[in-house]
Amino acid sequence: MKKGGGLSSIRRMIIRRKAKKPAAGIAESSGAVQSPTTNSLSAMVAAGPKSKKKGSGARLWMRMDKLGQSEVLECDKSMIVKRVGVPTRDLRVLLGPVFSHSSNILAREKAIIVNLEFIKAIVTAEEILLLDPLRKEVVPFVDQLRLQFSQRSPRRIDGAGQLAIHDTEHLTQPGQWLTVSEAVEGFQAELPFEFQILEIALELVCTSLETSVADLEGVAYPVLDELARNVSTKNLERVRSLKSNLTRLLARVQKVRDEIEHLLDDNEDMAHLYLTRKLVQLQQSEALIGSMASNNITAAAFNLRRLSSVRSGSIVTSNYSNDNDVEDLEMLLEAYFMQLDGTRNKILSVREYIDDTEDYVNIQLDNQRNELIQLQLTLTIASFAIAVETLVAGMFGMNIDCQLYHIHGIFEAFVGVLTVVCVMIFFVVLGYARWKKLLGS
C-alpha cells in the first residue's frame, strides 16, 4: 500500500510540473518581448484586421491644387472614392493590371480619369490626384505641374472657371460684381484647370513617344543597311528584335491616338470634360436660389439682373457658357492628334523600310537558291555524261571473249573516242537546258 501510494504521489508531482512548464514559458517570452515598441505592437494587434486591410491596398498619391500646393498621401481605394466621388469600378482603369498598358480619358460627373501611358491621375475642377508620383517617368510631369501652378496666387484669375467661382461667391452682395469686359477678359485668359492638366499630360506623352520613335529610327536604319549588305543569323536576329519593339511602340501610339479620336468624334463626351463649367453653373444656380429665397426682394432682383447680364455677355463673347461649345477642347485635342498622327507615320515609314529590306533580302536569297539549283543541274548533266563512259568501260571490263582485245594499240584510241563522245553528250544536254531556259545565260 505504501509503495502504491508513493508511486501515485510521484505521478501527481510529474503532472503538476508538466502543467506548470507552459505557463512559465509564456511568462518568459512575454518578458523578453517587452521593449519600447510594445505599445505600438499592442495597438496594431488591438486594431485587428481593419488596420491590416486598410494598409494592404494603399498606394502613393500626390495631390496638387490650382495654386501649386501639393502633398504626398498614401491612400486606398475607399479614401480616393470618398475624396473625388468616382465609382470604385473607375479606379480599375488606374489600378487594374488589365488596363495598365491602355490609354483612357474618361469623363465623370465631378472628375476626369486620365490613363495615358505612365500618367495615371484623377483630375477635378479644383485639384489633381496623381498615382505613383515618385516614378522616374512621372517626375517630369510633376515638375511641369509645379512650374505651371507654383507662381499662382489666390487672387490671380485662373481662367474662366476660377473667375466665375470667385464671382459667384459674392452674388448675394450687391456692388461686388465684375464688369462684363473684365469677366470676358478673364474667360479668354487661360484654359480651365482640368484642360491645363490634360494639355501637360498629352504634351509629355507625345514627347515621350516621339523620343522613343527617334531612338528607334537611329537604331533601325543602320541595322537594316547591315542586313542588306550581309545576310547573317546575327543580323536577322537584330531585325527580329527591332520589329518586336516597333510593333509595341506602334500599339502604344495607336492607343493614345484612338482615344483622342474617339473624343473628337463625340461632342457630348467632350462637353462632359468641362468640369469647371459644370462647377460654375452649379454655383450660379445655388446662388440664384439663395438670392430668390432671401427676404430682400430688391437685392435679389438686382443680383438676378446682374447675373443675367454677365451670363448673356459671356455667351456672346466667351466659349465657356454654352454647354455645346467645345471649340477650345477640340482645338487642343486636334493639335495633339496631329502630332500623334505624325509620330505614327514615322513608325509606319520605318516599318515600310523594314518590309522593303526584307523583300530585298528575300530576292537575294532567291537568287542564291536559283544559282545553287543551276549548279546542281550542271553537275547532274556532267554526272550523266561520265556515267555513259563508265557504262561502256564496265561492259568491256567483263570477262568475255572479244576480238578487240587482240588488236595492238586499240585501247588509247577507244578511250579517246569514248571520252570525246561523252564530252559531246555533256555539251548537247547543257545546250538543251539553256535552250529551255533551265540555266542562266
Question: For residue 195, what is the domain's CATH number?
Answer: 1.20.58.340
What's the pLDDT score for residue 293? 66
What's the pLDDT score for residue 58? 83
Concatenated DSSP letters of 277-339: HHHHHHHHHHHHHHHHHSS-HHHHHHHHHHHHHHHHHHHHH-SSS-TT--HHHHHHHHHHHHH
Would you say residue 67 lies in a domain?
yes
What's the pLDDT score for residue 440? 72
Residue 286 and residue 296 in one domain: yes
Question: For residue 101, what is the domain's CATH number?
Answer: 2.40.128.330
Residue 192 and residue 324 in one domain: yes
Residue 376 and residue 351 in one domain: no
- In tens digits, the chain (441 residues) has pLDDT values of 444 444 455 455 544 544 444 443 333 333 333 333 333 323 333 444 343 344 447 889 999 988 888 899 888 888 888 888 888 887 887 877 655 667 889 888 889 999 998 899 999 988 999 998 999 999 999 999 988 887 554 444 344 444 343 443 433 343 343 443 343 344 344 788 999 999 999 999 999 999 999 999 999 999 999 999 998 899 999 999 999 999 999 999 999 999 999 999 988 889 888 888 888 887 777 777 877 766 455 454 455 555 544 443 343 334 444 556 788 899 999 999 999 999 999 999 999 999 999 999 999 999 999 999 999 999 999 999 999 888 888 887 777 777 777 777 778 888 888 899 999 999 999 999 989 888 875
What's the pLDDT score for residue 183? 39
Residue 342 and residue 406 in one domain: no
Would you say residue 20 lies in a domain?
no
Q: What secondary structure letter does DSSP report for 115?
A: E
For residue 1, what is its C-alpha cell? 500500500
Burial of 343: CB neighbours in 10 Å, binned 0-12, 13-18, 19+: buried
Residue 356 and residue 392 in one domain: no
Would you say residue 318 lies in a domain?
yes
What's the pLDDT score for residue 305? 52
Residue ending a domain, among 342, 361, 380, is: 361
What's the pLDDT score for residue 155? 41
Residue 319 and residue 407 in one domain: no
Whether the Cβ atoms of residue 116 and residue 125 lie closer than 8 Å to each other: no
Would you say residue 40 lies in a domain?
no
CB 220: neighbour CB atoms within 10 A? 23
Residue 109 and residue 147 in one domain: yes
Domain of residue 423, residue span: 363-435
Residue 125 and residue 172 in one domain: no
Return the H-helix or E-strand segment holding 83. Answer: helix 77-84
**Number of domains composing the chain:** 3
Return the H-helix or E-strand segment holding 12. Answer: helix 2-33
What's the pLDDT score for residue 48? 41
Residue 409 and residue 367 in one domain: yes
